[in-house]
Amino acid sequence: MAVEPFRWALSVRRYADAEAALRSVSAAEAPAAARALRDLPAQAIGRLGAGDFAALTRMVAAVGTAADAVGLRMAALRRRAAADWADWAELARDLLAEGFPGNAAQAASRAVALLSRDASVPPAHAEVCLRALYELKADALRRHLPDEPHKSAAAGHMARRV
């Protein structure tokens, strides 16, 4: 099975070797390779060097699903030292438009947390942005959890409270 060398290389964090092994994985084994990528712990992804992260990005593009790519986009933003609340807000809007409301709600929450701590944003502007972010989160939660309206209502209440 050609996917075993790929799994082994991932398990020992040899991402260049994993990328090389992935080239020999057949189309029939691609789902198994994608599962192996999904099993990587988020903390490990966050500590990857630039070269390893680039290799991981190429591997996800080769065998991953759209949801895998979304997870990688979120991990990439977490890795960026200069990522601010506006970057997370933009990602939240994009993910909601692309049909990933759960991830959009997570990104909106991260944007709210960062904006709440950002002293460089004038208070009046922060208030308007927070209201918009809470509304975005409420919309994402309504789409993600249609059977649990109390969760989206709570986010909507926060938007009115700001």
Give this prediction's pTM: 0.70
Q: What is the mean pLDDT of each run of 10 residues along the chain (162 residues)?
A: 84 86 88 85 75 85 85 83 88 92 93 93 93 93 80 58 53
> What is the C-alpha separation between 161 and 4, in angstroms, rounded?
53
